[in-house]
Structures are given as C-alpha cells and as structure tokens.
Amino acid sequence: MRLGAHMSAAGGVYKAFGRAHEIGCESMLVFTKSNRQWKTKPLTDEDIAAYKKAAAEHDIHPVAVHASYLINVASPKDDLWEKSYQAMKVEIERAGQLGIPFITFHPGSYVKSDEASGLARIAQALKRVLAETAVSAPNVTLCLETMAGQGTNLGWKFEHLAQLLEEGGPSDRLGVTFDTCHVFAAGYDIRSPEAYAATMAEFDRIVGLDRIKTFHFNDSKFELGQKKDRHAHIGEGFIGREGFANFLNDPRWTGYPAHLETPKTEEDADGNEIEMDVVNLATLRSLLK
C-alpha cells in the first residue's frame, strides 16, 4: 500500500507535497479549500501550475481530496441541500483542475427526516453532479466515506453504500473510501485475521471490493460498535496493531493509498512536541511481513 497522511495545504495546495515528503509519505490526503467555509477563491492558472510542478517533483501519489465537512446532501432543507450540492460540485471541479483522481466526502445526515429520505437525497445529488462534472472532471472518482453511525449520519451500513452507488449511478466515477475507525465504530470487526476476512467478505457481497478506492487508517478510541468517531494513534486504540496488519499484508490492496487522520502531535514526558504522523507511519510499516 502507498501510505501517507492528511497534510496541510496552508499557503497553497502545492505546499502539501513538501510537507508530505518531509515525513516520508508515499501518498497524501488534502483539502483544496477551507473545510469550514462555504466560499472559496477560484484556483488561478498560477495555483494549478504550481501544484502540477510540485506533483512532478515528488513521488507522492495518488493524491486524494477530502471535501468540506459542511456539505450535507442528505439534508431535508432545500436551501441547504442546494448550497451543499453546489459546494460539492466546486470541490470536484477543483480536483479536476489539479488532476487529482479521488475526492472523498461524507454521505450526509438526514437530520429531522428519515433514513430512506436522506439516502434518496444523496443519490439525487450524486446523479446530478456526475452529469454536471462529466466534462470538467471526467477523471475524478467520487468516494463515499464509510461512516461511524453517530446521530443521523448515513453511510455506516454497507447496505447504505450499495444503495447509493446503484441509485447515484451506476458509474465508474463512484467509489468508496474505507475508514478503519468508522467501520469498527459501526460494528464491523477487523481486529483478527478471521474477523477481517469475514468483514471484507461481507463488504464484497453487499458492495463489492472493487468499489474501494482509498483508505483512511485510524485506530479507535472506543470499542467495537460504539458508533463514536474518535481517532486514536495506530496500535493505541481498540483496533490494535493486528487490525492494520490485516490490511497491509492483504495483496488485494497493493498500490492502494491509505491516509492517516490521527492527531498530528503529542507531548512527551518532558513537554517536547512529537510529530505523530512520523510515528504512525513507522508503526504501519513495521507491520509489513
């Protein structure tokens, strides 16, 4: 697998390459705009050129975008749905401009409606955005992230993902980002080789392993099935080191990108700051057989 982390794009997305190189990333996850604001300045020709120059200078690939956390295309409110839809479209078009092949987004939360209505709203958004970005971002794959199941969030059941991939497409431009913490929180065990094999077989039966395009590697601060999205450092949560070894030594995932979304820093006993992406990447690599 090509291991990496979610890297800061402060000062320009192209700067993420240098930061990723410094900590030993083979791949990386980025925001191309603020994840907490609706509006953003369009990418300039200079922005795009700087990104492509940096990409050519570093052996860091594939890159994936994480879409804004504000987007909720499961919303029952028409104004918020449209605002979310337009934001999602912009995110996809920006990825297309930069030549980034994958964009991950949270399916959404149905809030005060119901599960069936929320799923229908997401599928509506997917079908529309695939059509409207067919020319501007034909090589960008939209990846639905597996979710933890907290609140009214959708995408935590494999059945949700299968329905969205079918009703939102079908399209080769739709895929899945498999988040280890979220899947574990949702109740799918991946800790032992046997549990991992059973969960992946279930995913294959319901969704299809070929729909997985990227991974988020995060341990979990809470036990199996607690539906709490709290990321822990690799091997320091309830998934444990063996859980990640299951993925890393599975030949089916050779060449696939896996990105850390774990806490960036910790303090040692003397109060010194430790760069934890470096530690977590080293832990992952130590698990390769």
- For 274, counting Cβ atoms within 10 Å of its Cβ (0-12 exposed, 13-18 middle, 19+ buried), the class is exposed
261, 6 contact by CB (below 8 A): yes
* Averaged pLDDT, 275-285: 98
Q: Band of the pLDDT at 28, cuts 50, 70, 90? A: very high
- Dihedral pair phi/psi, residue 214, rounded to 5°: -140, 165
The ranges assigned to domains in the chain are: 2-286
* Averaged pLDDT, 270-287: 96
Q: 212-247: per-residue pLDDT in tens?
A: 999 999 999 999 999 999 999 999 999 999 999 999
pLDDT at 19: 98
- For 210, counting Cβ atoms within 10 Å of its Cβ (0-12 exposed, 13-18 middle, 19+ buried), the class is exposed
Q: Band of the pLDDT at 36, cuts 50, 70, 90? A: confident
Which CATH homologous superfamily contains domain 2-286? Divalent-metal-dependent TIM barrel enzymes (3.20.20.150)
Name the residues annotated as catalytic. 36, 66, 69, 106, 145, 179, 182, 216, 229, 231, 261
Rounded Cα gap, residues 189 and 191, in angstroms: 6
Place of tokens 């050779």: 254
From residue 21, give the alpha-carbon distance in Å to each of 25, 59, 265, 274. 6, 8, 17, 17
Q: Band of the pLDDT at 269, cuts 50, 70, 90? A: confident
pLDDT at 274: 95
- For 64, counting Cβ atoms within 10 Å of its Cβ (0-12 exposed, 13-18 middle, 19+ buried), the class is buried
90, 46 contact by CB (below 8 A): no
Q: Band of the pLDDT at 24, cuts 50, 70, 90? A: very high
* Averaged pLDDT, 12-35: 97
At 17, which helix (H) or strand (E)?
helix 15-22
Among the ranges given (142-156, 181-195, 196-210, 259-273), the one the predictor scored with the smallest mean pLDDT = 259-273
Residue 109: strand pairing partners: 153
Rounded Cα gap, residues 227 and 186, in angstroms: 5
Rounded Cα gap, residues 95 and 87, in angstroms: 13
* Averaged pLDDT, 251-258: 98
Residue 88 has pLDDT above 90, yes or no: yes
* Averaged pLDDT, 145-167: 98
What whole-number percentage of the chain has pLDDT above 90?
97
